[in-house]
Structure 1
Amino acid sequence: MLTSSQAARWLPRDFVEASQLGGVFTIVAYAVMLIVFMCELISFASPQYATVLALDKAGSDSLQINFDVDVHDIECRNLQVVVYAQNGKERLSSSGEDFWLRSIDAQGKQFGVAVKPQDAQGEVAEDHDKQMQDVRKQDGGQELDSDWSSSHDGFRHKSLEHVIQGHDFTCINFFAGWCSHCQKFAPEWEKLADKVHGKDGAPMKFPDRDGVERQVRLIKVNCVDFHDVCAPQGIDAYPTVRLYKADGTFSVFDGRRGEVEIIRWLERMIKMKSYGWGAHHEVFERGCNARGRLQVPRVPGHLELMAGGGDQTLNPRMTNVSHTIKHLSFSDANDGKFHRKGWSNFPREVTRNLAPLDGQRFLTSSFHQAYIHDLKVVSTVSGSQTTYQFQHQARVSQLPEAEIPQAQFHYDIEPFSIYVRRDDKRWYDFGTSLCAVLGGAFVVMRLISRFSLHISASLKHLFPGAKVGRAGAMSIGHFE
């Protein structure tokens, strides 16, 4: 910094004479201008959006409904996915149906094979028969029918799961050679196996609840030789007798270990329920996951997850259509299964309204109740991409005792569209505003600095006996 004697006389003294106060204000001014510059630069680089509301000019006559919903207490054999017109029960024709049904257990975990709706009838029997044939072809019938009494009996014993899958029902006696109870039970088990397998005649058949006759295969598993097989099954006592279904679920025999008692137990358990066992009735319940998309006319209507219409008659009092929505959205029919691909072209204010129901559960607490979802759908356009925001309102409907509850999604398409466009700042606008804010910051700091110096001079005038330093700080105790 030049002194006043070396600088041009027309320059203000504040520009040529250094002071502590001037240095502080200079640093502050630079910091403020740097912050203002960064804010302006971020604003210039960040995309800005503007919206325009106009009458809907849809380019397509079709609307795609994308859904992934768990219906907890309705089996896939009794679930239909249909779309009706807004008023009445006129079923809307679908130009494209691409969705699947898959069974879920009481915990919401999916299992089994996903099937098309038209294949849902007889899904369990057909799937099991095919699986059983594949496993038997892969491992061989003798391998699947053999006891696991020793690891050196000439069989491979590679997969107990395949053994279970290879039969309608498999009754397994988990034993240990050193167990006295197992030794006592062994002759009774041999008699039982000969009778059930029909060693002296035709094998026994056990009718299930649908009247289909099933065969049971009795197999022994030595938990000493096959500890790695028994441990995952949770076998902690010997002997343990379990009846397995082909899907891996099982029931445990806890009665007297006799031939007559076990046969009665087999008859009772096989007839009691064809699929899915557990310690509580809730474990027996099976639900259905419906996932996919439907392309329907672009008119108001309602999507219905309809309970009934399968190969069973539902009890209206016990029908529960509680459900969890994993995903629900609307999109252009041309988007297909890639309907989320274009969401990145829209700002967050839009994307958070494209699937607002995702992850929400709707559970009814009483009989004869069902959730009705009312959706207001607004088409939203950005460039060539069209998507749909929607607003949701749910209500619980109380139904007559004779009416079967249904989960319904009523959607109404608004007659206007929201057009979203980028409102980017041009480079010359950025330059103009940058100069303005930097100049404004400098002027403000300059005014504050001059005001501070003015206050310092006023204090010196009011207290002539006090010494005011170059920094403008008043020093008491030093007099001329």
Structure 2
Amino acid sequence: MMTSTQKARWLPKDFVEVSQTGGLLTLVTYAIMLLVFMSELSSFLSPGYSTVMSLDKHGSDALQINFDVDVHDIECRNLKIVVFAQNNEEKISTFGEDFWLRSIDSSGKTFGMAIKPMTDAETDDSDHQKQMKELLAKDGKKELDADWSDSHDGFNHQSFDHVLQAHDFTFINFFAGWCGHCQQFAPEWDKMALTVNGDERVNVPAQLFNDRDGKPRQVRMIKMNCVDFQSICREKGIDAYPMLRLYKADGTFSIYDGKRGEVEIMRWIERTIKMKSYGWGSHHEAFEKGCNAKGRLQVPRVPGHLELTVGDGDQNLNTRMINVSHSIKHLSFSDPDDGRYHRKGWANLPNDDCPTAFFCAHADVTKHLSPLDGRNFLTQAFHQAYIHDLKVVSTVAGGKTSYQFKYTGRVSTLAEDKIPQAQFHYDIEPFSINVKRDEKRWYDFGTSLCAILGGAFVVMRLISRFTLGVVKTVDGKKGHRGASIAAGGLNYD
């Protein structure tokens, strides 16, 4: 057995000298040192960010505008996407255009085919006829007219695009062999295909359909096996079977989602071919309630304004009834090198996926990359339009450039004879924000950790010694006073 004196040698001196005061201060010291250690370790493992402002030295002459906007009450045939100079109506020539329009119904759901309005295939019919002849000579009529129902049917099936380009219209049945609905629909499809495609072997001519100008057009009905040709179906976004699509030669398409009966399908084909390419729809009564504009534009890196221009289509609009209310699903700016998905520069920025706000002081950077996403801009009266003013600032992180922007908006009221337009004015700031990661090297971490822990220990040790000194002084005075009382008592003289 160890004596009390021997046990005391293994305890901190503070516990031995004054058990309550010294022990309490020792525990507090250990807790503070542990907290300081954890904070310093977290700072080392999750470094923060700092920003430096400098003149914009961006070398690219182009800027990419990425947009996905629903215009609720304007049909696609009457909507155009144009970029103007900032202070006048001069159109700015774009470096690249990759966007399309698609009709939306009253609930905002897209339907019909997506079209690229900057290419008008209807005006280049002679070029298309020439292209068809070239493909027929190159691939052969049998190859281009054949079904894609089997990868081992004796045909090459080299280019699905050639099949589309070789016909005015191609009605395709995307199916899978295991699909029960496809098997039920197969006899009805084969019956229609014989009628529409014709059969030269039995002298059955192909059926022709008149377009909106009264010109007869041929439709080729083809089956596509999505088990054998899985890559093509995946590329075309086929996620249900059977999927019926009517393709134009330029690759745009309209989706049939009605009853799979011969009478209904044939009527839909006749009606769809007579429509202009803007917004094919499977339901005529819901045809073109609104328009979704989605894609990207590459423009000169100078101030300007993007405009959803209304009234340049094939209809005369009533200026008293035009409503340009819209919803912004996405709007951002990026470098053209970022391509279609335009988020390469975003990956290097601080984001909101942080354990605590303390370690994410600059996490709000990502909030200003696309602050208008998911917002609705609905006017309350006719002759009104939203004007969006955007201050765009380039932000550099990890060698990649992204763009933050600050938004302010206003509602403009126009005269009755003026057509309201939804406008996005953007101004590029002459400075750039550089975001740098505040990394700490391991020896800096070790040095600072030792310094902080040592400092904390010394400070608490001084407090401890001071407290013990005060306690001893107080106890000494109390003892001396008690001894005096015991010796002679109090003197009241």
Task: Judge same fold: TM > 0.5, yes or no.
Answer: yes
Q: What is the TM-score when the length of structure 1 is the normalising length?
A: 0.64
- Where in structure 1 do 4 or more consecutive aligned residues deviate above 6 Å? 1-8, 131-137, 142-145
- The question of whether the paired residues in 1 share the 8 Å contact of 2:104 and 2:288 is answered with no
Q: Distance in 2 between matches of 1:6 and 1:329?
A: 71
- The question of whether the paired residues in 2 share the 8 Å contact of 1:74 and 1:307 is answered with yes
Which amino acid letter does the alignment assign opposite residue 454 of structure 2?
A: G
Alpha-carbon offset, residue 452 of structure 1 = 3.4
Equivalences for residues 424-439 of structure 1 within 5 A = 424-439=439-454
Q: Distance in 1 between matches of 2:481 and 2:64?
A: 84
2:285 corresponds, among 270, 276, 279, to 276
Aligned to 2:346: 343
Which amino acid letter does the alignment assign opposite residue 276 of structure 1?
A: E
Q: What is the TM-score when the length of structure 2 is the normalising length?
A: 0.62
Alpha-carbon offset, residue 387 of structure 1 = 1.2
- Note closer, same or farther for the CA distance 1:466–1:83 as it changes in structure 2 (3 Å cut): farther
Give yes or no for the alignment of 1:138 onto 2:141: no
Q: Distance in 2 between matches of 1:139 and 1:288?
A: 35
- The question of whether the paired residues in 2 share the 8 Å contact of 1:101 and 1:289 is answered with yes
Q: Distance in 2 between matches of 1:444 and 1:138?
A: 88
Aligned to 2:323: 320
What is the SS of the residue equivalent to 2:33?
A: helix
Alpha-carbon offset, residue 162 of structure 1 = 2.1
Which amino acid letter does the alignment assign opposite residue 350 of structure 1?
A: V
Aligned to 2:259: 161
- The question of whether the paired residues in 2 share the 8 Å contact of 1:3 and 1:17 is answered with no
What is the SS of the residue equivalent to 1:411?
A: strand
Q: Distance in 1 between matches of 2:304 and 2:61?
A: 14
Alpha-carbon offset, residue 398 of structure 1 = 0.5
Which amino acid letter does the alignment assign opposite residue 320 of structure 2?
A: R
> Once superposed, what is the RMSD of the aligned Cα atoms?
3.8
Alpha-carbon offset, residue 430 of structure 1 = 1.7
Q: Distance in 2 between matches of 1:383 and 1:103?
A: 40
- The question of whether the paired residues in 2 share the 8 Å contact of 1:132 and 1:165 is answered with no
- The question of whether the paired residues in 2 share the 8 Å contact of 1:165 and 1:247 is answered with no
- Note closer, same or farther for the CA distance 1:299–1:6 as it changes in structure 2 (3 Å cut): closer
Q: Distance in 1 between matches of 2:67 and 2:335?
A: 14
Alpha-carbon offset, residue 13 of structure 1 = 5.8
- The question of whether the paired residues in 2 share the 8 Å contact of 1:29 and 1:445 is answered with yes
- The question of whether the paired residues in 2 share the 8 Å contact of 1:71 and 1:322 is answered with yes
- The question of whether the paired residues in 2 share the 8 Å contact of 1:66 and 1:330 is answered with yes
Which amino acid letter does the alignment assign opposite residue 319 of structure 1?
A: I
Aligned to 1:85: 85
- Note closer, same or farther for the CA distance 1:309–1:453 as it changes in structure 2 (3 Å cut): same
2:413 corresponds, among 398, 402, 415, to 398
- Higher Cα Rg, which structure: 1
Alpha-carbon offset, residue 314 of structure 1 = 1.0
1:299 corresponds, among 290, 298, 302, to 302
Which amino acid letter does the alignment assign opposite residue 343 of structure 2?
A: R
Alpha-carbon offset, residue 27 of structure 1 = 2.4
Which amino acid letter does the alignment assign opposite residue 432 of structure 1?
A: T
State the Cα deviation string for residues 382-424 of structure 1 (Å, max 9, x = none). 2320111111110000111111110000011111111222221
Which amino acid letter does the alignment assign opposite residue 389 of structure 2?
A: D
- The question of whether the paired residues in 2 share the 8 Å contact of 1:132 and 1:166 is answered with no
Which amino acid letter does the alignment assign opposite residue 311 of structure 1?
A: D
Aligned to 2:64: 64
- Note closer, same or farther for the CA distance 1:80–1:329 as it changes in structure 2 (3 Å cut): same
Give yes or no for the alignment of 1:414 onto 2:429: yes
Which range moves more in the overlay, 419-428 or 371-380? 419-428
Which amino acid letter does the alignment assign opposite residue 189 of structure 2?
A: Q
- The question of whether the paired residues in 2 share the 8 Å contact of 1:4 and 1:17 is answered with no
Alpha-carbon offset, residue 322 of structure 1 = 0.5
1:452 corresponds, among 467, 480, 483, to 467
Runs of 5+ consecutive residues of structure 1 not aligned to the other structure? 146-157, 171-204, 214-245, 250-274, 278-283, 468-480
Q: Distance in 2 between matches of 1:13 and 1:92?
A: 81
Runs of 5+ consecutive residues of structure 2 not aligned to the other structure? 123-163, 174-184, 197-241, 243-256, 351-362, 483-493
Q: Distance in 1 between matches of 2:320 and 2:37?
A: 68
Equivalences for residues 199-210 of structure 1 within 5 A = none
Alpha-carbon offset, residue 39 of structure 1 = 0.3
Which amino acid letter does the alignment assign opposite residue 396 of structure 2?
A: V
2:376 corresponds, among 361, 364, 367, to 361
Alpha-carbon offset, residue 14 of structure 1 = 3.9
Which amino acid letter does the alignment assign opposite residue 310 of structure 1?
A: G
Which amino acid letter does the alignment assign opposite residue 24 of structure 1?
A: L
Q: Distance in 2 between matches of 1:455 and 1:162?
A: 96
- Note closer, same or farther for the CA distance 1:397–1:160 as it changes in structure 2 (3 Å cut): closer
- Note closer, same or farther for the CA distance 1:120–1:68 as it changes in structure 2 (3 Å cut): farther
